[in-house]
């Protein structure tokens, strides 16, 4: 089954359960909660708007971080490829180029699965150090050496950025607000809908479904390299294929 279909089926089921629970609670409460207005609609509207702002803030912040991480992965892979192409025709560059291949292969096969679990690969780190240890072996002029150094430094910078953005990127207080907001909106719906109809009950389901979907989306993109929405190692795979195909 498609994982997204399974996910939203689960969210739909949870939304139905919560909506049904609100109906049952109202029936148990008989007419006591209908006798007067407990929550002013204008106050609830202000709260709803404020909460929508925090949801939007979280989504925009995390989506921006996700796109930045994706761009950094492409830059890192491109920098490694530029180094490999630059060193290709240099005498004595075979060990250096092999260390580049080994690093890219380790990133694909070992580091990416590790990143899905929330940590960088020690083996990939060692392979990257090997690249620097072979840096001075190829014989070249200072301009070529500077170009290789610049791109290796850029790859190292993007690798560090990848490690830094791998963990959650949303501040814990924002998570408290988001979770508390779902509870508060559900609470408000219970008291505001004093004369429930089929249309109002369907609307409650839609609101709850949308809230839960947004919270999951925020939770998923909070970690760019794990979850259902994640960054794939495609740039490194493409670079490795080019390295292997080059004579």
Return d(Cα 240, Cα 77) in angstroms, integer: 9
The predicted model gives 64-77 an average pLDDT of 93
Domain interval for residue 163: 61-168+230-245
Q: Per the domain annotation, does 114 fall within a domain?
A: yes
Q: Per the domain annotation, does 174 fall within a domain?
A: no
Q: Per the domain annotation, does 216 fall within a domain?
A: no
Q: Per the domain annotation, does 106 fall within a domain?
A: yes
Q: What is the DSSP string of 202-247?
A: HHHHHHHHHHHHHHHHHHHHTSTTSSSS---SHHHHHHHHHHHH--
Name the band, by pLDDT with cuts 50, 70 and 90, for residue 122: very high
- Provide the H-helix boundaries in 88-138: 94-106, 112-116, 122-133
Q: What is the DSSP string of 126-142?
A: HHHHHHHHTTTSS---H
Computed over its alpha carbons, how large is the radius of gyration of the chain? 26
Instruction: Identify the pLDDT of residue 85.
Output: 92
Over the chain, what is the mean pLDDT? Answer: 86
Which of 77-81, 104-108, 125-129, 170-174 is least confident? 170-174
Q: Residues of 156-189 as b/e, b for ≥16 C-beta within 10 angstroms? A: eebbebbeebbeebbeeebbebbeebbeebbebb
Q: Per the domain annotation, does 18 fall within a domain?
A: no
Q: In angstroms, how far is CA 97 from the centroid of its own chain?
A: 32
Name the band, by pLDDT with cuts 50, 70 and 90, for residue 37: low
Number of compact structural domains in the chain: 1
Q: Per the domain annotation, does 9 fall within a domain?
A: no
Return d(Cα 123, Cα 191) in angstroms, integer: 57
Name the band, by pLDDT with cuts 50, 70 and 90, for residue 125: very high
Q: What is the pLDDT of residues 226-238, one digit of tens each?
A: 888 899 999 999 9
Instruction: Identify the pLDDT of residue 31.
Output: 54
| pLDDT of 71 strictly over 90 | yes
Q: How deeply is 194 buried, as exposed, middle or buried, from its count of CB atoms within 10 A (0-12, 13-18, 19+)?
A: middle
Q: Per the domain annotation, does 122 fall within a domain?
A: yes
Q: Per the domain annotation, does 135 fall within a domain?
A: yes
């Amino acid at each position: 089954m498609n994982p997204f279909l399974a996910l939203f089926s689960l969210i739909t089921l949870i939304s139905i359960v919560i909506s049904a629970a609100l109906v049952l609670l109202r029936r148990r409460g008989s007419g006591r909660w209908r006798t007067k207005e407990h929550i002013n609609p204008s106050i609830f509207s202000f709260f709803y708007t404020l909460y929508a702002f925090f949801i939007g803030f979280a989504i925009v912040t995390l989506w921006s971080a996700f796109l930045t991480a994706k761009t950094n992965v492409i830059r890192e892979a491109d920098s490694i490829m530029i180094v490999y192409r630059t060193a290709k025709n240099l005498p004595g560059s075979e060990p250096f180029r092999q260390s580049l291949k080994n690093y890219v292969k380790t990133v694909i096969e070992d580091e990416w699965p590790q990143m899905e679990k929330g940590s960088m690969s020690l083996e990939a780190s060692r392979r990257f150090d090997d690249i620097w240890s072979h840096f001075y072996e190829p014989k070249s002029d200072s301009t070529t050496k500077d170009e290789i150094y610049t791109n290796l430094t850029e790859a190292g910078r993007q690798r560090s950025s990848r490690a830094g953005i791998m963990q959650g990127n949303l501040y814990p207080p924002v998570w408290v607000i988001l979770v508390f907001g779902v509870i508060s909106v559900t609470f408000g719906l219970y008291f505001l809908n004093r004369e429930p109809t089929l249309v109002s009950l369907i609307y409650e389901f839609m609101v709850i479904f949308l809230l839960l979907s947004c919270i999951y989306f925020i939770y998923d993109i909070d970690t760019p390299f794990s979850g259902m929405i994640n960054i794939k190692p495609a740039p490194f795979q493409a670079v490795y294929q080019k390295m292997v195909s080059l004579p």
